[in-house]
Amino acid sequence: MSGVRVRFAPSPTGPLHIGGARSALFNWLFARRNGGTFIVRIEDTDLERSSRESEQNILSSLRWLGLDWDEGVEAGGPCGPYRQTDRLELYRGYARQLTEAGLAYRCYCSEEELARERERLMAGGELPGYTGKCRDLCDADRARLESQGRKPVIRFRVPEGKAVVINDLVRGEVSFECSGIGDFIIVKSDGIPTYNFAVVVDDRSMDITHVIRAEEHLSNTPRQVLIYRALNWPLPEFAHVSLILGKDRSKMSKRHGATSIQQYMEMGYLPEALVNFLALLGWSPEGEEEIMTLDEIKDQFSLDRVAKNPAVFDLDKLNWLNGHYIRQAPTERLTDMAIPYLEQKGYIARDVSADQYRWLQTVVATVKNYLSNLSEITGYVEMFFADTVEPENEEAIAILAQEQVPAVLNLFREKLEEAPEISEEIVKNILKGLGRELGLNGKKVFMPLRVAITGRVRGPELHQVVAALGLEKTVKRLEKGML
């Protein structure tokens, strides 16, 4: 195998969240930019918290974002299986090899013993690492402990007095003292490997060339490097992408808004807006233009332009980008996306007739400029579905009370009734002529019409609204406005 090989290796303990999606995206971009291979591997060794449901959520979110993978779960490939619980034999083999070479050892300490040990160390002002109690047990010791029914874990023997230096492609040189690490567990007492061990075995056996992941794994990297060395394996390159913070600079959490990709999908965000936004969380293009398609980002992507400092999650920016993509999107696509929200609100029935669908397209086209996501549409379209509307506030009531109002509403109604059809173009022309005919300025004409027809003092273009409402509904509202 040759060329760039990267992987996204989620633990299926919950839905795909913003941070995970960004890691997946950066790996995908790096693979696609370099003609490499993108692999999706499932790290499900946390048996209690992992579920197939989360795995499915992660995979479907990746697909929705447009991030396809060349090898991995569901795709297959030469390095499978791609789910860690299906690879347990492989880890056991390497654990045995390390143990036989004296580079790892069986540890029989119980949870209680370890907790007491930690307390003792902390009380003496020391770091609460493992003290190496089982490091040098002889065969007889082990036999005695096993006869007590103790089930061992396997610990990695961390070499003393050394430092591990990592040349991270994003963070530069980072050094860790081995003394701060302590012999760590590589296989738990139930025979399941820990993350740090399984990840090394998998990255090596899948020939991963670049490990691109979130900064929170930087502190795990020295442990992983020690395992590579113990097994005499070459190291991949590492690139740790900085944390994502909320606008208040604290670590991104639910407080800062929705965290899972599915939630954004359900709120009516477009995947192209989300990938554009995610790419800018830590990476920046060379030019000024930030609105970019996945393809355009791919053509420019490099790890050199991934920032060391934390990325800030700015929901306003996502809304701005999404609004942009909504305005660009074909009306039919937006209408399809809008239908479930309209149905849920009770504005339409499940089965939409062809005529109604055409009409819905006009409604969507009329309000789309106002939306930053599709679920917001219900807040803008009441005027199209309600039989009558009420002035929204004092200002609106005052507008309808002006003396010219009956004349304006009346003339508009007459003109509409005389018109051959109620198209946007025709209504626009009628509106243009009204002020001239009545000798009134624009505001005195449009504001009362807007309030009478929509109940609002601001909103979409009036000619579009009237065309979408049709003659009958518009006339009803004009009549009501004259009362």
What does the binding site for ligand GLU look like in residue numbers (CB under 6 A)? 9-11, 43, 199, 213, 217
Nearer to ligand GLU, 199 or 261 (CB): 199
C-alpha to C-alpha distance for 114 and 116, rounded to whole angstroms: 5
Q: How far is the CB of 209 from ligand GLU (least distance, A)?
A: 14
Q: How far is the CB of 10 from ligand GLU (least distance, A)?
A: 5
Q: Label the pairing between strands 153-156 and 104-107.
A: antiparallel
> In the structure, how many helices (H) and strands (E) does the chain have?
20, 12
Judge whether 198 and 84 are in contact, CB under 8 Å: yes
Q: Which candidate, 6, 437, 411, 471, places its Cα nearest to that of 210? A: 6
Separation in Å, CA 87 to CA 39, 150, 381: 16, 25, 54
Judge whether 427 and 463 are in contact, CB under 8 Å: yes
Q: How far is the CB of 199 from ligand GLU (least distance, A)?
A: 5
DSSP states of 234-286: PPPEEEEEPPEE-TTSSBP-GGGS--BHHHHHHTT--HHHHHHHHHTTTB--S
Q: How far is the CB of 349 from ligand GLU (least distance, A)?
A: 43
The residue count of the chain comes to 483
Q: How far is the CB of 186 from ligand GLU (least distance, A)?
A: 15
List the structure tokens of 138.
């002889």
| CA angle (72, 73, 74) in 5-degree steps | 110
Q: How far is the CB of 459 from ligand GLU (least distance, A)?
A: 46
**φ/ψ (deg, to 5) at 142:** -65, -45
Determine which helix (DSSP H) or strand (DSSP E) holds 418, and give its type and residue range: helix 405-418
Q: How far is the CB of 332 from ligand GLU (least distance, A)?
A: 38
Q: What is the DSSP letter of 255?
A: G
Beta strands in 206-296 (DSSP E): 210-214, 237-241, 244-245
Nearer to ligand GLU, 40 or 199 (CB): 199
Residue 308 among the catalytic residues? no
Nearer to ligand GLU, 164 or 273 (CB): 164
| CA angle (384, 386, 389) in 5-degree steps | 95
Nearer to ligand GLU, 205 or 423 (CB): 205
List the structure tokens of 248.
């208040």
What 3-state DSSP class applies to 191?
coil
Location of structure tokens 């800018």:
280
Nearer to ligand GLU, 49 or 254 (CB): 49
Nearer to ligand GLU, 229 or 476 (CB): 229
Q: Which of the residues 251, 254, 308, 432 is marked catalytic?
A: 254
Nearer to ligand GLU, 10 or 282 (CB): 10
C-alpha to C-alpha distance for 430 and 413, rounded to whole angstroms: 10
Q: How far is the CB of 239 from ligand GLU (least distance, A)?
A: 11
List the alpha helices (DSSP H) in 66-149: 88-100, 111-123, 139-147
Nearer to ligand GLU, 11 or 242 (CB): 11
Q: Which candidate, 342, 245, 221, places its Cα nearest to that of 18? A: 245
For the annotated catalytic residues, the residue numbers are 254
